[in-house]
Amino acid sequence: MKMPITNSHKGFSLLELMVASSIGLIAILAMTILFRAGMSTMFTVTQRAETQQNLRAGIELMSKDLSLAGAGLPSGGLQLADASATKVACNQTGTCYVSGDVYPNGNFMTGILPGFGNGVQNSSVISAAPAATNDSITSIYCDYNFSLSNFTFTFPSVTQADVAVINTAVTPNSILAPGGLNVGDLVLFLVSSPGNGTGSQGTSSSQTAAVVGEITGIPSSSVINFAAGDPLNFNQSKTTANSLAYAINSLGSSLGAGNTVTACRLNAVTYFLQVPPAGGTVQTPRLMRQVNGLTAVPVADNIINLQFSYDVINSISGTINANVSSPIAAGLSPALIQKVNMWIMGQGLLTGGNHAQSMYLASSVATRNMSFCNSYSASTTACQ
């Protein structure tokens, strides 16, 4: 007789396998979706953090330069030589970074030069910018980090200054020290000559000249050249009023004898946007900073919009005109700018799809070194 064969191993039915596989696939799919959502969130946070970092770097650097605007300049500004237009935001090779690259109002230098609508080099179009307007701005002030008070300056000719150190124990004691003078730097000379003028009663009166020269060469630590034909057109002929050559010719070739010469290096700092040409390592718009006649350097990447407005004192009414985008076009003096309002927009590296990140950062800076008007004066033109 045959014995029944029993099988103690039980298997899964096809239906059970299908149900189990479906549940497993659903779980894997849910985990994948959660993982992708987490990665997307992390990427978005990283993009926003990088964009904010770029925006803050730009805002902080601009705020520092704008807060110093007008420091060391004569009250109300400085009339430059008027024989030809004096340039701003150009380097030694002749590259000018903004359009309309001359000092406004007949070559008049003030602590702030508004640049409405000319904020992109070569007038390039930034398609990602939400507004059609991109502005530039120039802040001009004396550089007290490298003080020239330890040096005396005499001028054997209108194109050369001889430099002598007053005290070798004082730093800086060389114009070529780290952070010192460079070709393309601007130097402001305030020259006071106590005996070269004639007063109303026939007595001797003082003359004071405030002139700017562009350094064209530094052969040694004791010589600075201010040759004519400089890239920014500061070193104009001795027949041109308000030029360095004219002041030397009028007050005497050796300004160190009987005259008081105060000098400082001017920082004429311009901020603008640049779109690097195709084929370069960087092709996204970036914020640039250019000083005097030197080459511009990048400050922050992926900056697509830069705008400014100004709170300006109306010299006629003595009141503030707030949020003026173009003071010169509005008939207001840039010398009376009291506050600069800044808007800067950045964009993440990835510009397509849901990962694109763009944001604004706004700030305001009081220009405490600029001219002001006394609103409590009986005169409506009590501006200094």
For Cα atoms 146, 152, 158, give the angle at the middle one, nearest 5 degrees. 105
**Local structure of 51: helix, strand or coil:** helix
The parts of the chain modelled with pLDDT lower than 50 are 196-205, 254, 256, 378, 380
The confidence score (pLDDT) of residue 322 equals: 93
Q: What Å distances lie between residue 61 and 13, 279, 287, 298, 332, CA to CA? A: 72, 29, 11, 12, 26
pLDDT for position 227? 93
- 354, two tokens: 């849901």
Picking from 194, 188, 238, the residue whose alpha carbon sits closest to that of residue 81 is 238
**pLDDT recorded at residue 44:** 66
Residues 6+ away with beta carbon under 8 Å from 123: 99
For 170-194, what is each residue's pLDDT tens digit? 999 999 999 999 999 999 988 765 5
* Per-residue model confidence as pLDDT tens digits over 44-74: 666 777 788 888 999 999 999 999 999 999 8
Q: What is the pLDDT of residue 288?
A: 96
Whole-number Å distance between alpha carbons of 83 and 246: 12
Tokens matching residue 381: 């033109």
State both tokens at 86: 């004096």
CA gap 109, 76 in Å, rounded: 9
- For residue 146, the one-letter residue type is F
Quick one: pLDDT at residue 23? 86
| pLDDT in the model for residue 200 | 38
* Per-residue confidence (pLDDT) for residue 239, from 0 to 100: 79
pLDDT at 199: 39
- The residue extents of the domains of the chain are 50-366
